Amino acid sequence: MKFVSAVSLTLLGATAVLADRGIISPAEGSTVSLSAPLNLTFNPGQYFKAGTTSIDVYFIHGELGKEATFALGADSRVILTDFKPNTQISDHNVVTNAYQVQIELTDELLAGPSWKHPWKKTLMIVEKKWDSITGANTAFWTTSFDLTE
């Protein structure tokens, strides 16, 4: 998992065992089949005097370098906007709000000559959050995976 931000962001997953914060699923470097929905599980791990208000999710063709925000454009698709927390996960015995969704890999989402090829894809989550010290801020989370037929 790659993390680029001035502020922290955590992803929660209800079934996560190995990782309990950040983008839990799909895991970095994993293989995802076109024939099944893509499971996105994210735990921002915000508690105490901080919280996440919503996330935007982008599906990006290829892998990202450290400058993730410059990749948004023709080679990206918006999957979710202003998505609110919809589950809770226990993170080291602290219950935090999290996100979990099944994303259908439809022809519309994968439109274009190169999108269905078994290449690297990246999910980028833009987390809108707040904390008691810096107020409102944004964090960026990414994970890359192989998409196969």
The tally of domains found in the chain comes to 1
* Per-residue model confidence (pLDDT) at position 11: 35
66-76 pLDDT, tens digit per residue, is 444 445 566 78
The better pLDDT of the pair 131, 17 is held by 131
- pLDDT for position 102: 94
List the beta bridge partners of residue 57.
80, 125
Q: Whole-model pTM above 0.85? A: no
Single out the residue of 60, 102, 56, 59 nearest to residue 80, CA to CA.
56
pLDDT for 20-62, tens place per residue?
Answer: 788 999 999 999 998 899 999 999 877 667 777 889 999 888 7
Residue 94 has a pLDDT of 78
- Here the CATH number for the domain that contains residue 30 is 2.60.40
Contact between 57 and 11 (Cβ < 8 Å): no
